[in-house]
């Protein structure tokens, strides 16, 4: 395998002058920041639209002949992108067939009747891919090697027979109101006749469920990728790192080294919220890209897509305006190149 290259720039992706004619990418893979005024001081509607415009700029000016864009977006970001995509200004791009998928978090199940409660998150909520008109690019769902020997403790579970067994937590754009804030977990447990206790989370100011009785069971781990076109293509991906494909045990052990602190070890941690999704990124890279591809994530956060890209033998360029996140991504890229290119 040829040496891999990874680089992260601490700038704002909306500074489109960065993307000069010398920069060419095979794949864009990104979760476009789509929520306006979610927290005090966060981006407004104009900035969300600027995020979309930045991605459109790269699609129009910096993609290879067989380039693709895999984009997660919702709310006004999706509305803005669709308005451009369906307009006369788009003369280059088309949707990739059977490329739409959503990501869910499996929260709870009733072991007596196999009823499930799954949640939506505000990252990788609804995803679809785009290709140049006339391209034969497709997503290779079969490229995912699967993960064997997953430990118990929530990282694996039996899927319900079909979608009718699943209650989906609502997703409320443009401001995401989570499962706890909306009391959806409490309502689901009540509907199932499962006894539980309410616990107060002082950090977030919400009541959560806990200490539920059998037949209640908590998943709370990992991701479910649900392609729109086929129930049989669904896959559960644990949050914790397990050997699979190019993610060898040697790579996982290397990420645990002290020298990988504030980098790979941070990405590998399953705590810390939505930003740590390297195993999900591994599925995306394995199924949506080819070895040797040059991948861009213009909103790369702590660099989980970048880590998966390098491990799978792709090159990566990331952009992140938050220096506390970009330094983690940059540290990860440096250590991975040192390890993989040795």
* Residue 293 lies inside a defined structural domain of this protein: yes
Q: What DSSP string describes 126-170?
A: EEEEEEETT------GGG-----SPPSSSS--PPPSSGGGEEEPP
At 280 the pLDDT is 93
* Residue 225 lies inside a defined structural domain of this protein: yes
CA proximity to 200, closest of 222, 180, 179, 226? 180
Q: Which range of residues forms the domain containing residue 75?
A: 6-340
* Residue 326 lies inside a defined structural domain of this protein: yes
Does pLDDT of 161 surpass 80? yes
Beta strands in 248-320 (DSSP E): 294-297, 315-319
Task: Name residue 166's beta-bridge partners.
Answer: 116
Residue range 273-285, pLDDT digits in tens: 556 889 999 999 9
At 271 the pLDDT is 60
Whole-number Å distance between alpha carbons of 274 and 124: 10
Confidence of residue 174 (pLDDT cuts 50, 70, 90): very low
CATH of the domain at 310: 3.40.50.150
* Residue 1 lies inside a defined structural domain of this protein: no
Burial class (CB in 10 A: 0-12, 13-18, 19+), 135: middle
What percentage of residues in the chain have a pLDDT greater than 70?
A: 91
Length of the chain: 342
pTM here is 0.92
Does pLDDT of 120 surpass 90? no
Confidence of residue 294 (pLDDT cuts 50, 70, 90): very high
> In the chain, how many domains are there?
1
Confidence of residue 220 (pLDDT cuts 50, 70, 90): low
Does pLDDT of 175 surpass 60? no
Please state the separation of Cα 100 from the chain's center in Å. 13
Does pLDDT of 210 surpass 50? yes
Instruction: Read off the pLDDT of each residue in 215-231 and give the average, rounded to a whole number.
Output: 87
């Amino acid at each position: 395998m040829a040496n891999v290259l990874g680089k992260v720039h601490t700038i704002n992706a909306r500074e489109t002058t960065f993307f000069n004619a010398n920069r060419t990418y095979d794949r864009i893979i990104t979760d476009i920041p789509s929520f306006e005024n979610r927290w005090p001081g966060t981006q407004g509607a104009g900035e969300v639209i600027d995020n979309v415009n930045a991605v459109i700029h790269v699609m129009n000016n910096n993609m290879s002949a067989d380039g693709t864009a895999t984009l997660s977006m919702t709310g006004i970001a999706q509305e803005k992108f669709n308005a451009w995509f369906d307009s006369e200004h788009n003369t280059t791009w088309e949707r990739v067939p059977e490329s739409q998928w959503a990501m869910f978090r499996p929260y709870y199940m009733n072991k007596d009747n196999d009823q499930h409660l799954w949640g939506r998150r505000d990252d990788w909520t609804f995803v679809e891919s785009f290709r140049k008109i006339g391209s034969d690019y497709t997503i290779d769902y079969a490229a995912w090697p699967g993960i064997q020997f997953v430990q118990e403790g929530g990282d694996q579970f039996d899927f319900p027979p079909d979608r009718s067994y699943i209650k989906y937590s609502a997703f409320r754009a443009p401001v995401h109101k989570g499962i706890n804030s909306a009391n959806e977990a409490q309502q689901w447990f009540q509907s199932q006749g499962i006894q539980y206790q309410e616990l107060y989370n002082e950090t977030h100011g919400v009541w959560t469920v806990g200490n539920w009785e059998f037949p209640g069971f908590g998943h709370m781990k990992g991701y479910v990728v649900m392609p729109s076109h086929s129930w049989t293509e669904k896959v559960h991906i644990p949050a914790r790192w397990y050997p699979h494909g190019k993610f060898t045990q040697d790579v996982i052990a290397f990420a645990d080294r002290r020298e990988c602190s504030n980098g790979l070890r941070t990405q590998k941690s399953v705590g810390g919220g939505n930003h740590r999704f390297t195993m999900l990124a591994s599925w995306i890279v394995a199924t949506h890209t080819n070895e040797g591809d040059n991948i861009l994530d213009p909103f790369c956060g702590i660099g989980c897509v970048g880590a998966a890209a390098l491990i799978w033998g792709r090159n990566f360029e990331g952009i992140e305006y938050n220096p506390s996140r970009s330094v983690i991504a940059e540290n990860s890229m440096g250590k991975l190149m040192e390890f993989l290119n040795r």
